[in-house]
């Protein structure tokens, strides 16, 4: 079979890739001073509350040896597993806004892949509890979860109750949107605008801006699509990246505006500061993108590189 046929066949398989995005709206119950990048704060707080609400094993704290781990929602959602990507992304804006007044709205975006979409109510209940118990950041700022909406803007949770059928409607509407996005016709130049730090590694070494190329991006993207589809979406796309990577070598850089941005976070689990710095900005490629657009479109939603669960590696196409 020719390479072109292989690429086209696998691009169609992307229509089976299932994900949904949700917007969470929090109303500050007091004045707050929060980190510039809040995804790490949301993820850490959510993880602790999610475990307390769902874990029934009071004998041992070690999830890896728990006899019911394979039927445990916490283990599936939150515990890291070798070579298996996490089934969610928590993403917020990477900006300098830190001060929030009482009554002000704080937002973040949650992406769930495949089977994980069934656990959306678990996320909602956990963020409700986080707002009234341990709160946000070291000072434990309190908030109220006032709304959760889907990609199409439909309200799923209105701050008091779940809206009837909204969850199922959001899944159907998002599936149609993902399908439509995969059919876009490309121009001869494409800009990837990274909104959160990109951390691409080769042989465990992070790639600097002057070493980034289209081939590396395609490798990272196809690998992530394969892994998520197998682990969470219930199908094996059998995506052979070799033909795509070979064609990716023909795509050239027109302009590279990526710059390194330092960012560290404190891990309560590991009790240490962790370096999460990466590349921000725009990089413009030129060439024939007809075979790549389904993957690039999907990549906007699943992010690429390391630490995507924290919202890193988010880009938009221009």
- Token digits of residue 1: 């079979």
How far is 181 from 173, CA to CA, in rounded Å? 13
CB-CB neighbours of 297 under 10 Å: 18
How far is 96 from 105, CA to CA, in rounded Å? 16
Query: Are 56 and 141 members of one domain?
Result: yes
Q: Domain count of the chain?
A: 2
Query: Are 67 and 168 members of one domain?
Result: yes
How far is 172 from 193, CA to CA, in rounded Å? 28
Query: Are 27 and 12 members of one domain?
Result: no
Task: Give the pLDDT confidence score for residue 9 in this predicted structure.
Answer: 38
Task: Give the pLDDT confidence score for residue 166 in this predicted structure.
Answer: 59
Query: Are 171 and 191 members of one domain?
Result: no
Query: Are 56 and 201 members of one domain?
Result: no
39-54 and 120-132 helices, crossing angle to 10°: 100
Task: Give the pLDDT confidence score for residue 185 in this predicted structure.
Answer: 53
Contact 276, 196 (CB under 8 A): no
Domain boundary among 148, 178, 208: 178
Query: Are 123 and 151 members of one domain?
Result: yes
How far is 264 from 198, CA to CA, in rounded Å? 14
Residue 181 burial by CB count (10 A; 0-12/13-18/19+): exposed, middle or buried? middle
Query: Are 146 and 264 members of one domain?
Result: no
Query: Are 209 and 247 members of one domain?
Result: yes
Three-class SS state of 275:
strand
Q: According to the 3-state scheme, what is the secondary structure of 186-213?
A: CCCEEEEEEEEEECCEECCEECCHHHCC
How far is 127 from 110, CA to CA, in rounded Å? 12
Query: Are 26 and 53 members of one domain?
Result: yes
Domain boundaries, position 141:
19-178
Query: Are 202 and 144 members of one domain?
Result: no
Query: Are 92 and 114 members of one domain?
Result: yes
Domain boundary among 178, 201, 216: 178
The CATH number of residue 273's host domain is: 3.30.70.1900
Domain boundary among 178, 211, 234: 178
Three-class SS state of 112:
strand
Query: Are 204 and 230 members of one domain?
Result: yes
| DSSP structure class, residue 186 | P
Task: Give the pLDDT confidence score for residue 182 in this predicted structure.
Answer: 46
Contact 260, 277 (CB under 8 A): yes
Could you read off the pLDDT tens digit of each residue along the chain, which spans 318 residues?
334 434 443 555 677 899 999 999 999 999 999 998 899 899 989 999 999 998 988 888 888 899 999 999 999 999 878 889 999 999 998 877 999 999 999 999 999 999 999 999 999 999 999 999 999 998 999 999 999 999 888 999 999 999 876 566 555 555 445 544 444 556 899 999 999 999 999 988 999 999 999 999 999 999 999 999 999 999 887 677 888 999 999 999 999 999 999 887 766 666 667 788 999 999 999 999 998 999 999 999 999 999 999 999 999 998
293-302 and 166-181 helices, crossing angle to 10°: 140
């Amino acid at each position: 079979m020719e390479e072109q046929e292989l690429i086209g066949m696998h691009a169609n398989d992307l229509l089976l890739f299932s994900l949904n995005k949700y917007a969470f709206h929090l109303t500050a119950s007091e004045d707050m001073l929060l980190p510039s990048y809040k995804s790490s704060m949301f993820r850490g707080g959510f993880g602790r509350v999610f475990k307390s609400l769902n874990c029934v094993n009071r004998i041992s704290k070690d999830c890896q040896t728990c006899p019911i781990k394979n039927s445990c929602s916490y283990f599936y959602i939150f515990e890291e597993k070798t070579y298996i990507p996490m089934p969610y992304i928590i993403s917020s804006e990477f900006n300098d806004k830190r001060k929030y007044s009482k009554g002000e709205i704080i937002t973040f975006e949650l992406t769930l892949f495949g089977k994980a979409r069934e656990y959306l109510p678990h996320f909602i209940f956990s963020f409700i509890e986080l707002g009234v118990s341990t709160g946000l950041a070291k000072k434990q700022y309190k908030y109220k979860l006032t709304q959760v909406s889907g990609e199409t803007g439909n309200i799923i949770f209105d701050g008091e109750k779940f809206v009837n059928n909204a969850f199922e409607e959001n899944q159907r509407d998002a599936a149609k949107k993902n399908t439509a996005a995969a059919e876009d016709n490309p121009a001869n130049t494409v800009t990837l605008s990274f909104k959160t730090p990109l951390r691409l590694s080769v042989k465990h070494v992070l790639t600097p801006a002057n070493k980034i190329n289209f081939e590396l991006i395609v490798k990272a993207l196809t690998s992530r699509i394969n892994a998520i589809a197998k682990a969470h979406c219930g199908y094996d796309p059998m995506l052979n990246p070799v033909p795509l990577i070979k064609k990716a070598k023909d795509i050239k850089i027109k302009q590279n505006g990526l710059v390194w941005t330092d960012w560290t976070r404190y891990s309560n689990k590991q009790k240490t500061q962790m370096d999460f710095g990466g590349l921000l900005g725009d990089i413009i490629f030129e060439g024939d993108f007809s075979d790549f657009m389904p993957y690039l479109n999907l990549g906007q939603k699943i992010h690429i590189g390391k630490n995507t669960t924290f919202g890193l590696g988010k880009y938009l196409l221009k």
